[in-house]
Chains A and B, each alone.
Chain A
Amino acid sequence: MSRTEDTDEDFIASAMPIFISEAQEQTDAVENYLLELEEQPDNRELLDSLFRCAHTVKGSAGIFGLEPVVEFTHHVETLLDQMRDGRMAFSGEIGTLLLKCNDQIRWLVETSALAREDSAEQQETRAELVRQLRRLTSGQGGGETPREPAATEKPAPLGLKWKISARFGRETFRNGMDPLAVVRYLGEIGQIVSMRCLSEAVPALQDLDPEACYLGFEMEIEAQKERAEIEGAFSFVAEDCEYQILAQESASQKMARAIEELPDTPRIGEILAAVGAVTPERLAEALAAQQKGAADQSAGKPKIGSLLETEIGLAPEVVQAALKKQQKMRDSAAPEEGRYIRVQADRLDAVINLLGELVIASAGAMLKARSSRQTDLIETNLEMNRLIEDIRNSTLSLRMVPVGETFSRFRRVVRDTSASLGKDVNFEIVGGDAELDKSMVEKIADPLMHLVRNSMDHGLETPQERAAAGKPMTGKLVLSAQHETGAILIRIEDDGRGINRERVLERAWTRGLVPQGVVPSDDDINMLIFEAGFSTAEQVTNLSGRGVGMDVVRSNIEALRGTIRLNSRPGKGLRVDIRLPLTLAIIDGFLVGVGKSKFVLPLESVVEVVEAGCGAAKTDSAGRHCIELRGAVLPVVRLRTLYTVESTLPERVSVVVVNSPRGKYGIEVEVLLGQHQTVIKPLGRLFKTLRGISGSSILGSGEVALILDVSSLAELAAMDGAQGARGGSQLSMQAAGIDEPPVSGGA
């Protein structure tokens, strides 16, 4: 006895995390459906999905004996059920209530794992929600008073038709129940339109167990009743009976269903007629023959294909070909989606780590093969490299998820925030299907959340202010994602008041972020809002404006090797552009050398390479000069000078032209080493401050190469005085760890 209890407990303990993660997914889905439903309240499919989610949570919570979840969710389900029956329309009020309920369910699910005691406060919240739900479901104003039958209920539309089908269990009679009584009761609460007893399951007399029930029925009934009342007819037999109650569909619903039920694949005759193998008339004859055959022999309908063969004399190979084609179409129409396997994220990470090591090792093997000068060995290595690249790409794509999942979370934030601030906001999501590495998606969510809240709080004005400024009353907030070369661009755009540069500057002066009287460029003033300890909000709200956060936002994004840029049009709006690399693991790189140092450029950003003479062109102290490229001036940054790499002046240099968000520019390097699969290793803590460099990589030879970040390099090069090149740390390349790799990885 206790043994089985133990195993039960073991089972529950081991399955609980799965239940919780699945229930969390369900509640997330519920939230999304609710928010979508607010936009399209008549969408029946959404409502059904919503109901299914709630039902799943309730069902699985029941298995784990989580009574509070089951009990609470049941009330939510009742309300949803009434909406499904069309007895209640979805409204903003219901939406808000259901969102709160969903939060409560989520909380209950999460705390069930911790076995934490339900606080009195939470219980009170829940009781209040249940009261509100009850008030809605009973269609009455007051929640406490017992409801009076039918008096205040919303009348159902006249002549509501229901379709009921029921199948009774074998034990029905022995349990003292009777289908006849159920039907009689139904006859009392409504007008039975049609009634058919399902007696096919009843065996012949000699095989009959007279006390077992084999009956079922299908009926149509006209009753001005609620579903619950009809269900009441089954309340005593519920355990022994499978039943289904459907509100009768209207003509248009019927047609929609008929379309839905059309076969996905064409019929065999249609295929044959389409290619002219059989005329429509002959086909009709054969079909008629098929019908007749079906009526004559009970063994089942003869196949139309074989009929066409025998009756019309169609060549068997033609029929075979048509059958094959039909099967093919059926196969391709079979749903591919929904076939997922769950894999723990760290297992996937382990594979990707190994893959990184494999890439490095194969680069080493390639190097050895080249130096051996054995053509066969080089060939084999090349083939292997190609395969490794394929594996790399498909493995990395396993981690890619659409950013839209994260974005849709913001709907709720925007909704609640706008309500609490009294602002009208039209929130749009564009390009949610752009994919990004899963770990990035998780890390970007918080900074994005903060920026969205900031836009709502400080950017968008109240409806009155907007009207006064001649703007539409409803503000606009757009969250978009799109792919750019080797990166993803996430943009948060609002049409609010933009950044008030004067106020920002004043604040910066008083806070000592900028020396008194110094006026930086417009862009620099905008970026001041990301400085630590900066806040211009006149009133501190509980949403944002506590002066913490914006600097954290920037450092979070920079930690992901991303950049953040502001584009403010005072009075018109603010645009925040966040650029993130697609992955944190492995990129295609372009390997270049300066002196003894090696650098990697992301291959996607490389446009072309041009030769640029002997490299003696005059540069300023930051290594900047210009060259002429097909009649246009191209700014060029010389890495040797920028990072003070020690090397003898080479005879000739190359300029790698790269694309950056600031436009095209050139990077002057000395040696071109070609394409290189680059496993990104993070920089050591000492070198985090080094600007323009986003990471390091280990080459096949064991050397360390630094990965250049073209967009931050561009910004670095564009800086006045170019003091920023070495950040505050004044590192020379030697110190930057060429002799001692900053990260050893697994090599």
Chain B
Amino acid sequence: MTDQFELPSELTIYSAARTHNELLAWASRQVGSGSDIKLSARAVESVDGAGLQLLVSLGQTNESWRLVDASEVFADACRVMGFADWLDAPRFQPDSTREIP
């Protein structure tokens, strides 16, 4: 059982249906086993509103989810859309070594 959910590199409308399925399955398993819901956005290279909406929806289901890592692209999208507080979640360390694309 994976510790955290890796968001795909393409977190957009094109992959939203697939990501949604995977995330839903994973999250319900996590809840079932009593584990934390931790997500990593390290690999995200492109993101759009539909992608962010998935995480909003996750928040509606389970308020205790946390982001543990994020690419600059993803972090930027969060800030733009007013979700900067996701980035401030505890234990989240911004990956400062990553190049800004």
Which residues of A approach B to under 8 Å, CB–CB? Answer: 172-174, 178-181, 183-184, 187, 195-197, 199, 202-206, 208, 210-211, 213-215, 217, 219
A195 proximity list for chain B (CB < 8 A): 80-82
Once A197-B82, A205-B20, A210-B19 are accepted as A-B contacts, the answer to whether A180 and B13 lie under 8 Å apart by CB is no
* B82 and A203 within 8 A (CB): no
B16 proximity list for chain A (CB < 8 A): 173, 210-211
Between-chain CB contacts (< 8 Å), 29 pairs:
A173-B16, A173-B49, A178-B13, A178-B48, A178-B49, A179-B81, A181-B48, A183-B80, A183-B81, A196-B82, A197-B81, A197-B82, A202-B53, A202-B57, A202-B60, A205-B27, A205-B60, A206-B61, A208-B20, A208-B54, A210-B20, A210-B53, A211-B13, A211-B17, A211-B50, A213-B49, A214-B53, A217-B82, A219-B82
* B82 and A204 within 8 A (CB): no
A696 to chain B, nearest CB (A): 81
B27 proximity list for chain A (CB < 8 A): 205
A45 to chain B, nearest CB (A): 34
* Per-residue interface assignment for chain B, residues 14 to 28, with 1 indicating a CB less than 8 Å from any chain A CB and 0 otherwise: 001101100110010
A236 to chain B, nearest CB (A): 13
Most buried by B among A172, A196, A204, A210: A210
Interface status of B77 (Cβ within 8 A of chain A): yes
Docked CA distance A505–B60 (Å): 94
Docked CA distance A213–B52 (Å): 11
Q: Determine the main DSSP class of B at the interface with A.
A: helix
* B80 and A187 within 8 A (CB): yes
In order of increasing CB-CB distance, the 5 nearest A-B pairs are A210-B20, A210-B16, A195-B82, A204-B61, A180-B49
* B57 and A204 within 8 A (CB): yes
* B81 and A203 within 8 A (CB): no
B24 proximity list for chain A (CB < 8 A): 205-206
B19 proximity list for chain A (CB < 8 A): 210
- B contacts with A, residue count (CB < 8 A): 27
**A184 contact from B50, B56, B58, B80, Cβ within 8 A:** B80
Docked CA distance A196–B83 (Å): 8
Docked CA distance A542–B80 (Å): 66
* B49 and A204 within 8 A (CB): no
A263 to chain B, nearest CB (A): 32
* A180 and B48 within 8 A (CB): yes
**Beyond A202-B57, A210-B54, 12 extra complex contacts between A and B, CB < 8 Å:** A173-B13, A180-B48, A180-B81, A181-B48, A183-B81, A199-B56, A199-B60, A203-B60, A208-B20, A210-B16, A210-B50, A211-B17
* Per-residue interface assignment for chain B, residues 55 to 76, with 1 indicating a CB less than 8 Å from any chain A CB and 0 otherwise: 0111111100000000000000
Give A206's nearest chain B residue, CB to CB: B24
A69 to chain B, nearest CB (A): 38
Docked CA distance A715–B24 (Å): 97
A214 proximity list for chain B (CB < 8 A): 53
A208 proximity list for chain B (CB < 8 A): 20, 53-54, 57
B25 to chain A, nearest CB (A): 10
Docked CA distance A214–B16 (Å): 14
Once A183-B81, A187-B80 are accepted as A-B contacts, the answer to whether A215 and B57 lie under 8 Å apart by CB is no
Give A172's nearest chain B residue, CB to CB: B49
Docked CA distance A45–B23 (Å): 52
Docked CA distance A197–B56 (Å): 10
A184 proximity list for chain B (CB < 8 A): 80
Give A198's nearest chain B residue, CB to CB: B82
* B58 and A205 within 8 A (CB): yes
Docked CA distance A184–B77 (Å): 9
Docked CA distance A184–B81 (Å): 8
* B61 and A205 within 8 A (CB): yes
Once A202-B60, A205-B24, A206-B61 are accepted as A-B contacts, the answer to whether A213 and B50 lie under 8 Å apart by CB is yes
Docked CA distance A180–B59 (Å): 19
Give B60's nearest chain A residue, CB to CB: A204
* B49 and A179 within 8 A (CB): yes
Give A200's nearest chain B residue, CB to CB: B60
Docked CA distance A202–B61 (Å): 10
Docked CA distance A197–B57 (Å): 13
* A210 and B17 within 8 A (CB): yes
A215 proximity list for chain B (CB < 8 A): 49, 52-53, 56
A172 proximity list for chain B (CB < 8 A): 49
A203 proximity list for chain B (CB < 8 A): 57, 60
B81 proximity list for chain A (CB < 8 A): 179-180, 183, 195, 197, 217
A217 proximity list for chain B (CB < 8 A): 81-82
* A180 and B20 within 8 A (CB): no
Give A186's nearest chain B residue, CB to CB: B80
**A197 contact from B13, B47, B60, B83, Cβ within 8 A:** B83
* A180 and B52 within 8 A (CB): yes
Docked CA distance A447–B82 (Å): 67
Give B13's nearest chain A residue, CB to CB: A173
Docked CA distance A484–B43 (Å): 88
B60 proximity list for chain A (CB < 8 A): 199, 202-205
B49 proximity list for chain A (CB < 8 A): 172-173, 178-181, 213, 215
Docked CA distance A210–B49 (Å): 11
Docked CA distance A467–B97 (Å): 85
Give B48's nearest chain A residue, CB to CB: A178
Docked CA distance A378–B59 (Å): 84
A209 to chain B, nearest CB (A): 9
B27 to chain A, nearest CB (A): 6
Give A194's nearest chain B residue, CB to CB: B82
A4 to chain B, nearest CB (A): 37
* Per-residue interface assignment for chain B, residues 23 to 51, with 1 indicating a CB less than 8 Å from any chain A CB and 0 otherwise: 11001000000000000000000011110
A219 proximity list for chain B (CB < 8 A): 82
Give B62's nearest chain A residue, CB to CB: A205
